[in-house]
């Protein structure tokens, strides 16, 4: 081989090596890749955001087959320890407690952690992330509780016979939302002298299908129920569909449903008047914050990174608020626009 060819080959190899070393690896581990869910939208946001950012990024993601399977989540995080990405973003599947060991192993391998976590005991977590991005889940529950209490007071719906459909029993998110809702509705109804009866509580594991199946026997046993709380979007949607399937009408004149999270099809149900209230957290803003943290760190401005970022919540009770609040790109997607009557669409 001639010297010139060798030089060219060496040059190419050098370029490849430079490119390889300059590449920044980012992983996002999430319990759900469903694009209608918050974590699914955050996943899309991170992937698209990295493509748009300046620099050479390689993106990895992984999702367990079942979102509440801690053993599968542990295996996925073990893989991330081997991969040792520069930035490891994680939304816990059930609890932060399950994943500390793997997170610390990843941190020991040089991965910088960005954690989407519930807002409890952050100072007690035995892990040191670059940043926490938190959703005040208790506030989310309180917002929905306040909205329902206000509606009941205004319309003098007395008594309020409430069924609560909780999430996964061990989920910190589920517990915080349920506790927030219970606290706010109790207080709000007390203030206007309306009686609150919590007639039934069920754990439906954040599952739309399980909520759908459970609402039928619950309504048969307690036909007096006039308000149902769903601990996440899928639960609220399952309750709504289950009520419709047994000939009950969810909505202002029928059974009131309070949802949580504000995934797109849940927002569409609010628009149609079938779900009464949903606090919305913008998953795209959460991914923007995570990427902003990456950018600041890469630019050597890590001192500007806040240890904790709060995600803003917006209470949504009607279609107008949705069009004022939710990013247009999300509304135009298949998860929302086809699910509302055309005349409700606002340009």
Please, which residue, 17 or 246, has the CB nearer to another protein?
Answer: 17
Alpha helix positions (H), the chain: 3-22, 38-52, 70-83, 100-108, 137-155, 172-191, 208-221, 233-245, 264-271, 283-298, 319-325, 328-331
- Interface with another protein, residue 62, by CB under 8 A: yes
Q: Which one of residues 35, 44, 53, 83 is an interface residue with another protein (CB under 8 A)?
A: 83
> Measured between alpha carbons, how far is residue 161 from residues 53, 138, 158, 200, 241 in Å?
51, 22, 8, 9, 20
Of 7, 75, 195, 324, the one binding another protein (CB under 8 A) is 75
Q: How far is the CB of 74 from another protein (least distance, A)?
A: 5
Pick 229 or 280: Cβ nearer another protein: 229
Number of residues that bind another protein (CB under 8 A): 34
Closest distance to another protein from the beta carbon of 99 (Å): 9
Phi and psi (nearest 5°) for 305? -75, 130
Contact 288, 233 (CB under 8 A): no
Helical segments of 132-279, H only: 137-155, 172-191, 208-221, 233-245, 264-271
Cα 252 to Cα 154, 162, 258, 318, 331, distances in angstroms: 12, 15, 12, 11, 24
In whole angstroms, the minimum distance from the beta carbon of 80 to another protein comes to 8
**Residues within window 210-249 making contact with another protein, judged by CB under 8 A:** none
160: three-class secondary structure by DSSP: strand
Site for another protein in 85-124 (CB under 8 A): 94-95, 97-98, 100-101
d(CA 215, CA 196): 20
Sites for another protein among residues 146-175 (CB under 8 A): 168-170, 175
Q: Give whichever of 14 and 169 is closer to another protein, judged by the CB atom.
A: 169
Q: In this chain, which of 24, 78, 150, 310 binds another protein, going by CB under 8 A?
A: 78
Does the protein bind another protein through residue 34 (CB under 8 A)? no
State the nearest-atom distance from the C-beta of 39 to another protein, in Å: 12
Q: Is 55 in the site for another protein (CB under 8 A)?
A: no
Kindly state the tokens that stand for 276.
């009464």
Alpha-carbon dihedral sign for residues 330, 73, 92, 132: negative
Based on CB atoms, which residue is closest to another protein, 99 or 152? 99
**CB distance 165 to 111 below 8 Å:** no
Q: How far is the CB of 261 from another protein (least distance, A)?
A: 20
The one among 46, 50, 81, 130 contacting another protein by CB under 8 A: 81
DSSP helix/strand/coil, 310: strand
With 0-12 CB in 10 A as exposed, 13-18 as middle and 19+ as buried, what is 110? exposed
Binding window for another protein (CB under 8 A); candidates: 71-79, 152-160, 218-226, 263-271:
71-79
Measured from the CB atom, the residue of 60 and 345 that comes closer to another protein is: 60
Among 50, 63, 189, 326, binds another protein (CB under 8 A): 63
Give the binding site for another protein (CB under 8 A).
33, 58-63, 65-66, 68-72, 74-76, 78-83, 94-95, 97-98, 100-101, 168-170, 175, 203
């Amino acid at each position: 081989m001639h010297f010139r060819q060798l030089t060219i080959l060496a040059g190419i190899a050098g370029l490849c090596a430079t490119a390889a070393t300059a590449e920044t690896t980012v992983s996002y581990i999430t319990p759900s890749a469903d694009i209608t869910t918050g974590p699914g939208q955050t996943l899309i946001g991170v992937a698209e955001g990295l493509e748009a950012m300046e620099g050479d990024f390689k993106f990895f993601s992984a999702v367990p087959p079942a979102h509440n399977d801690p053993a599968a989540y542990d295996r996925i995080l073990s893989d991330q320890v081997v991969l040792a990405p520069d930035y490891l973003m994680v939304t816990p599947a059930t609890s932060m407690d399950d994943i500390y060991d793997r997170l610390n192993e990843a941190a020991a391998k040089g991965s910088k952690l960005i954690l989407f976590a519930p807002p409890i005991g952050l100072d007690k977590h035995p892990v040191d992330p670059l940043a926490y991005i938190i959703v005040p889940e208790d506030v989310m529950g309180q917002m929905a509780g306040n909205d329902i209490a206000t509606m009941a007071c205004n319309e003098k719906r007395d008594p309020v016979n409430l069924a609560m459909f909780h999430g996964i029993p061990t989920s910190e998110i589920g517990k915080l939302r349920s506790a927030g809702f219970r606290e706010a509705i109790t207080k709000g109804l007390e203030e206007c002298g309306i009686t609150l009866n919590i007639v039934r509580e069920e754990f439906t594991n954040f599952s739309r299908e399980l909520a759908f199946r459970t609402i039928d026997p619950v309504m048969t046993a307690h036909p007096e129920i006039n308000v149902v709380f769903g601990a996440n979007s899928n639960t609220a949607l399952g309750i709504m569909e289950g009520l419709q399937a047994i000939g009950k009408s969810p909505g202002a004149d029928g059974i009131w449903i309070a949802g949580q999270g504000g995934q797109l099809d849940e927002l569409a149900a609010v628009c149609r008047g079938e779900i009464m209230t949903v606090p919305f957290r913008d998953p795209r803003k959460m991914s923007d914050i995570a990427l902003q943290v990456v950018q600041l760190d890469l630019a050597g401005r890590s001192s500007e990174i806040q240890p904790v970022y709060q995600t803003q919540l917006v209470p949504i009770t009607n279609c107008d608020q949705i069009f004022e609040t939710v990013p247009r790109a999300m509304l135009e997607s298949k998860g929302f626009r086809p699910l509302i009557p055309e005349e409700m669409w606002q340009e």
